[in-house]
Structure formats: structure tokens, C-alpha cells
Structure 1
Amino acid sequence: MHTLRHSFATHSLYQGTDLYTLKRFLGHASLKSTIIYLHLLPERMQQCKSPLDTLYEDDQ
């Protein structure tokens, strides 16, 4: 059941649910507690662009 809460939090965030709404869904008093439930998905890591890439592109 605990793993389901982590999955719910992570996927809700990626679908656009804001952190404060997610905090209320999970019944947390503190945003710090909610953040513990969030995980970076591998496919999201691949979508992230490095700020260094932007600097390199600007130099071209």
C-alpha cells in the first residue's frame, strides 16, 4: 500500500497536479512530507535538458 502512495504522488505530479493539492490528497500537514513521496522517473530524466546544452547551442 505504501508503494501505491509513492506511485500516486509521482504520477499525479507529472500529470500536472500542483504540490499543495497533492499534499492535501495525501493528508500531509507538511510539504516536506509530500516531497519524500516524489520520485524522478527515468523517462523524465531523459526529457530534461541540461543548462550546459543551452549554453553550447547559444555559442553556435
Structure 2
Amino acid sequence: MLLDITGWRPGEIDGGVALATELGQFPGGRSLYDPRPGEPRTLGPGVIRRFYHSADTP
């Protein structure tokens, strides 16, 4: 899945993101996604980063 982070500042995504979902372990909860340690962030006209599922939370 792709998440459009247009307009997000690097500090808003460097620590990962929590996305509302009905597909996780807790329906109506959030799935947590984090960047893989050591994986570079691509800079340019925007911020490009891969995130990997790390956990689900209610």
C-alpha cells in the first residue's frame, strides 16, 4: 500500500506512523509502521521512505 505523505515534514515520519485500519489485529485500531533501521531516506522534491509493519494497537 502507498501512503501519500505530501506536505509531511521529515520529523513527522522519521519515528514511524500509526494508521487507522479495520484490517489489523484490533478492528478500529491502528497498525504501526516504522522505517527499517539503517535504510536511507531518499531526498529530493519530496520525502521517500519505506515503512514496514511493526505491530497493531487497539
Q: TM-score range by the shorter chain?
A: under 0.3
| TM-score normalised by structure 1 residue count | 0.24
Q: Which has the higher strand share?
A: 2
Bigger Rg over Cα = 1
Q: Which has the higher helix share?
A: 1
| TM-score normalised by structure 2 residue count | 0.24
